[in-house]
Structure 1
Amino acid sequence: MTRPILLIVDYNLSRIDEVRDLGDYARERHGATVVLVRSEPTEADRYLADEVIDLDPLRDDFSEIGAKLLDDRRERIKAGIVFSDNAVRSGAELLERLGVPVDCSHLAEGAFSKYRYRLGEARVAELLAAQRVMVPAFAEIASLDQLRDFARAHPEGFVVKPAAEGNNRGVVVVRPGDDLTAAFGEVLPYLEGGVVCEEFIPYRREFSFDGLGSLTFLTEKMSAPGRYPVEIAQVLPAVVTDQERATLERTGRQANWLVGQCDGPFHNEIKLSDDGRYAAVVEPNRRPGGMKIWSLARWVYGVDLHRRWVDAAFGTATETPSLVPGRSAATVLLGVGSDRWFGPDDLPVGADPFTDAVQATGERLGLVDGELTVTEFSWLSRERRHLHAVARDNADFAAQGCVVLHGGSADIRSVVHMLREAWVDALDGVLATPVERS
């Protein structure tokens, strides 16, 4: 019998392990052939999939060309997964053309373009206001003069960011008295793809409404203060009151409605007021959250969302389980203590600063052996790069580590802060040791 096809449309390179897991499970569970569509595929892509098609999802004719290339296998394509922001609209259009179940393509642009999403909010601003969801004032800008106009209209401060860019790249908080020319210079590289000014959301705490279809959970995002509000950690479960949970879930679902999400994955970033009654969407996403959020969910709740996504795509997903946390976990971004050039090869052979930092964190918090464990660690790049001690975006971090906290003798958020401090100490310590080449 001819094997069914799982079509995976695009992914970001940092998610390669997740794509591998999706494909392996589709072969094992559904006997599927995996076809991957992405621009300029690498040799690694040919190991991920049984077939790779070179096609850029940002092409205007992507869905038309893709459908023609896949037309001879149309009857075999039983499931599809769109796994990048760049493909969220065009990938959904392709699956629609092929007759494969997928969330709405027409509204999907709002999950790619921050400007398009704000336009969608503005159309239903009265309804959102009634649900205590703030709709920030916004404007697309293309010049320094337009930036100055927005600044005059919002003297209390605002945010400038690329209209379509992830990983906190290019996001600049402009506060009263800041140099507008310098702020415009920082977003200049993104001008061709569009730059947006947004009224400053006056809420301090940030969360994400995550999940797949009807399965939902809340993740707490920890961000750096100051001019560059980059994320430094994601923690599960989010510690919230019943009222805060209701506000976040209501806001997250409304974001899903605006971008056409129904059955697929989502990661909607939301800021919450101190009293827990008001919220504002930072941005919606029709994909799994980054920073290993779905892995955190597996360790905390015991549910494998990647496998469930494949099953849902094939129409065989089981009844939605109840999510009861059995522990807490965090993904932590790890930087450097001072502006410097750094690469993993700078470390002495056998050095393991992350394990050292986790051990030191456990000791400082008085945790017993085995209460704080390492689940994953990875360098964000093997190249030697210049990193800023005050990270300007996620590219300024050296590494990423995941830890699980068993038991309730400590707060996972305290673990994050202490671990980041212990990491800098551990890294500086091993860097002071002469490097021995193996």
Structure 2
Amino acid sequence: MVRVAIVEPRSSGCQLIDRARELGHRVVVLTADEGERRIQRRHLDGAAQTVVLDTNDDEAVRARLRTLHAQDPFAAVVPGFEHYVPVAAAAAAELGLPGISARSATALRHKHVMRARVAEHGIDQPRHVLVSDEGQLAASVRAVGLPCVVKPVDQSGSLNVVKAGTEAQALAAFRRIHGYGSGYLGRTGLPLVLVEEYVAGPEYSVEGYVSSGEAVVLAVTEKHLGPEPWFVETGHLVPAPLADGPRAGVEEYARATVRALGLELGPFHAELRLGDRGPLLMEVAARLPGDRIPDLLRLATGADLYELTLRCHLGLPGPRPVLRAGHAGVRYFQRPELDRYARMVVDEAVAADPAVREIGALIAPGEPVPPPGSSAGRLGYVIATGPAPEAVTAALDAAELGIAFEPLNPSEEPTVGRHVLILNRWNNKFAEYHRYLDHTVDRVAYLTTAAGQQPLDAGLAEHIRVVRDLSDRAEVSAAALELQARYGQFTHVLGLSEFDLELGAELRELLGVPGKGVEDVRLVRDKVVMKAAVAEAGLRVPVNRPVRSAAEVRAFAAEHGYPFVLKPRAGADSQDVYVLRTPEATDQALAQVELTAFQCEEFIEGNLYQVDGVVSGGVLRTIRSWRCLGSCLDFATGTPFGSVANDDAEFEARVVEFTEGVLKALRLTDEVFHLEVFRAAGTDEIVFLEIGARAGGGQVRFVWEEVYGVDLIAASVQVQLGIERAYPRADIGGEVAGYLMMPEPPVRPAVVHRVASLTGAIPELYTEALPPAGAVLDGNGGAVHTAGAFRFRAASSARVQEAIETAVKLYEMDWSPLEPSGV
């Protein structure tokens, strides 16, 4: 775990905070945190420290970084946005950290210097003239030719970049730039303007990074622009549908330009047009691309540009990412005829389209809509994925037609839909509920813990109430009643964690909210009641009995023999679960547990399968079974755990039929579920073990989203709120996914010194999550904080299983016991 400074993060820089935290780094954010530089709380809450200062005062930023570095050294200083590339570079140089040179930073920040450097290397680019005085403008326009482009030399986001068809229009554009005042983010711009040749042709950007002196291209992005004379970007498609020849030409042009500008390390975002003379440079930035392009890149190819950026600035060379052949796009909505809008209306077909991954508003209902001319005037967006660019474009086009922004009448206030109370105990990306639920349409309040508060967006939430412990029913009930008294009747109560299902039911009954009550939830939480209902439906369950004393446990053993299982009636994550094989082991277990609500259960010999899926309106929408390599109990006691999607069609059909019977028996009609069954040795019958009315844990949620295109957390929200949606099928015959989790060391707490990366060593491995050097594994990580997690994809279960077995053999971790403090 290292300390990383990020200077004034904007756009993708905010996601960089989140990703750095996920990777285990301690993030220090330097920000003015006001006006255009205000950062959403959900991002800042993920930082280890936030330092508020005037980030437009370069010397103040460098001085503060020197002081902070002396107190606790940084490993990297990273610019959070294009305007802060030079100060971050200067600070990194002062502190002796990896970074780009001042010369490169100047060329990559100021477009007139960039043009001069590119010209020095003989690279073709648009004709251009630098203008500092209005009197020079007419001659400059004649030298470049009409139409031309007039742009500031040091702004971003297409701000004040205009196509001019006449000298008069060029003069108006020049005056607009000079009259802009302090400029974007409060930074005073240089009094210089570029007049450039207008290049007719499609526009692209090239996304990549420089590591060890080599410029690596990850993708070419096709850009969509709004109506001229502006150049506002309204969409992106990754990767661009270019033939091999033009693509290779674009990539090499970008690499040559990056080399000419002397970029030493870190990400680059090169924008160009493909004209009659071939690729021609618009500009290059030494930063993460904006407009969600890093997210599109990850969805389409698997490349994590956030992590690559951090690795570059930390001076950590690594293998090139293995890119997969997917496609993703984003479309932004402009409505120049509106100055405000009342509500965003999404057509049901768009909401149900499985290709659509995310829909959101950028300007809240009732808020002023800025005039056209920059990206600030975009009202909302949609993200879609697909197997081919045509499929993505079709989904985005349909969304463009199916999403409307209703005008705001002078007397009309923006309306809202549902009023939702969310119980949250997660402190990771799964708690980013704004990704699943439009907080500008629905009112959303939260009951959470101090740790769970971090990912929540305080700027969008109606209210965030922090309680000491969600298990404290009295405190939580009082807080819920107070919120309802203050903000009005709730229409829904959501609790997505296994541990909050009963609490959610109790609050629905307390607040008079429709939905599952205590008795409904008991069917999926109390394993004795659960198994009784399933058995009554004629499905095979293990012989089981509730026990409250040691005598009852021993009586079960005497009646049914060894081995047998002793487990809590309402537990999770294999906590306090014992497989007892001898009387001596039984005595040891009884000495460790308090038998307040336990059960004894027949031990089933056979393979354990996990079955995940979505049921809506009582109909299975998507389902897939997974054969476990090991068990959750074995993992908790120190054995690697793997899981492989089943590709036995005959057995899958039996699983589907069995699952439908279980769902009906337990009255599960609108849920994401995680079912566990045994495929019994000898008889091959399916035996029910247990079910959770929630998304599976561990790596289940990741592989479902990354390989099968189903976000199980989003689906949990959607089905519980009655939002109709079509979900991609995970049927037999397609790609097979799998995962592996490595257990924590046998001696805990332990400090991690090194975990060997397996990226590139196993073709089927598509991503890994490794604890960083310095991480402490304390035995409480469960399936979340492991000693390494690996995710695989291949054409068959056999190949995935072989890859998992290879990963177990190749896995290496250096660690040592954590010495007690003060010793």
TM-score (norm 2): 0.42
Contact 1:341 1:385 in 2 (8 A): yes
What one-letter code is carried by the residue in structure 2 that aligns with 1:335? P
Q: Which amino acid aligns with 2:766?
A: T
Within the alignment, does 1:402 sit opposite 2:814 as a pair? no
What residue in structure 2 maps to residue 203 of structure 1?
A: 606
Aligned runs of 1:110-259 on 2, under 5 Å? 110-121=523-534, 124=536, 127-128=537-538, 133-176=539-582, 178-186=584-592, 188=593, 190-192=594-596, 194-213=597-616, 214-224=620-630, 228=634, 232-233=640-641, 235-242=643-650, 244-259=651-666
| Partner residue, 2:108 | none
Percent identity between the aligned chains? 18
Q: What is the DSSP-based 3-state SS (H/G/I as helix, E as strand, rest coil) of the residue aligned with 2:571?
A: coil
**What does 1:59-98 correspond to in 2, within 5 Å?**
59=473, 66-67=480-481, 69-74=483-488, 77-95=490-508
Alignment-derived partner of residue 429 in structure 2: 17
Aligned to 2:464: 52
Distance between the aligned counterparts of 1:378 and 1:80, measured in 2? 35
Q: What count of residue pairs does the alignment treat as equivalent?
A: 391
Shift of residue 47, structure 1, vs aligned partner: 4.5
What whole-Å deviation, never above 9, does each CA across 1:171-201 have from its counterpart, x for those lacking one?
1111255532112234x1x534x12111112
Q: Pick from 427, 433, 436 the counterpart of residue 813 of structure 2.
A: 427
Q: Equivalent residue for 1:333? A: 741
2:813 partner SS: helix
Of 27, 33, 47, the residue aligned with 2:438 is 27
Once structures 1 and 2 are overlaid, which stretch shifts more, 313-322 or 56-65? 56-65
Say if 1:151 and 1:158, in contact at 8 Å, map to a contact too.
yes
- Is the Cα–Cα contact under 8 Å of residues 635 and 743 in structure 2 kept in the other structure? no
What CA deviation, in whole Å up to 9, does each residue of 1:75-105 have, x standing for no partner?
Answer: 5x45543212233234135346656553464
Structure-1 separation of matches of 2:554 and 2:562: 13
Describe the superposition over 1:118-137 as per-residue Cα deviations: whole angstroms up to 9, x where unpaired.
Answer: 34345x1xx41xxxx32222
Per the TM alignment, residue 271 of structure 1 is displaced from its structure 2 partner at its CA by 1.0
Matches within 5 A, 1:358-373: 358-360=759-761, 362=762, 367=763, 371-373=764-766
SS at match of 1:339: coil
Q: 1:410 to 1:175 in 2, by over 3 A?
A: closer
- Between 1:225-234 and 1:306-315, the stretch displaced more is 225-234
Contact 2:612–2:673 (CA<8 Å) still a contact in 1? yes
Please tell me whether the aligned partners of residues 210 and 216 of structure 1 are also in contact (alpha carbons under 8 angstroms): yes
Gaps of 5+ in 2: 1-413, 817-823
Residues 280-321 of structure 1, C-alpha deviation per residue, up to 9 Å, x if partnerless?
221111111111313211222223333333333443323344
Cα-to-partner distance string for 1:304-352 (whole Å, 9 max, x where unaligned): 333333333443323344334753333322125x7334534x31xxx44
Cα distance in structure 1, aligned partners of 2:605 and 2:748? 36
- What secondary structure, in the 3-state scheme, does the structure 1 residue paired with 2:605 have? coil
Q: Secondary structure at the match of 1:402?
A: strand
Question: Structure 1 residues 331 and 309 mapped into 2: Cα distance closer, same or farther (>3 Å)?
Answer: same
Q: Please give the secondary structure, in 2, of the residue aligned with 1:270.
A: strand
Q: Secondary structure at the match of 2:806?
A: helix
2:765–2:803 contact (8 Å) kept in structure 1 = no
Task: Give 1:280's aligned residue.
Answer: 687
Partners of 1:58 and 1:109 in 2: CA distance:
19
SS in 1 for 2:436: helix
Gaps of 5+ in 1: 388-392, 432-438
- Find out whether 1:303 has 2:691 as its counterpart: no
Q: Which moved more, 1:171-180 or 1:403-412?
A: 403-412
1:374 pairs, out of 767, 775, 794, with 767
Contact 2:622 2:727 in 1 (8 A): no
Deviation at 1:8, TM superposition (A): 5.1
Instruction: For residue 221 of structure 1, report the CA deviation from its aligned partner.
Output: 4.4
Check if 1:412 corresponds to 2:412: no
Asked whether the equivalents of residues 237 and 329 of structure 1 are also in contact (C-alpha less than 8 Å), the reply is yes
Looking at structure 1, the residues matched to 623 and 632 of structure 2 have their Cα atoms a distance apart, in angstroms, of 28
Report what 1:7 is aligned to: 420
Question: Would the alpha carbon gap of residues 227 and 148 (structure 1) be closer, same or farther in structure 2, given more than 3 Å must change?
Answer: farther
Further displaced range: 253-262 or 288-297: 253-262
**CA 1:397–1:170 in 2, change beyond 3 Å: closer, same or farther?**
farther
Q: Which amino acid aligns with 1:35?
A: A
CA drift at 1:208 = 2.1
Shift of 1:376: 4.2
Instruction: Return 266-275 or 52-61, whichever deviates more.
Output: 52-61
Q: Secondary structure of 1:86's match?
A: helix
Q: Distance in 2 between matches of 1:176 and 1:227?
A: 18
1:211–1:288 Cα contact (<8 Å) kept: no
Q: Secondary structure of the residue that 1:309 maps to in structure 2?
A: helix
1:27 aligned counterpart, secondary structure: coil
Q: 2:624 touches 2:730 (CA, 8 Å); kept in 1?
A: no
Residue aligning to 1:290: 697
Deviation at 1:139, TM superposition (A): 2.0
Give 1:12 shift. Answer: 4.6
- Contact conserved, 1:88 with 1:109, CA < 8 A, in 2? no
Q: Distance in 2 between matches of 1:52 and 1:226?
A: 34
SS at 1:287 equivalent: coil
Residues 109 and 116, structure 1, Cα contact 8 Å, conserved in 2: yes
- Confirm or deny: 8 A CA contact 2:621 2:727 kept in the other structure: yes
1:253 is displaced (CA, Å) by 2.6
Q: Larger radius of gyration, structure 1 or 2?
A: 2
Secondary structure of 1:239 counterpart: coil
Aligned-residue offset at 1:261: 1.5
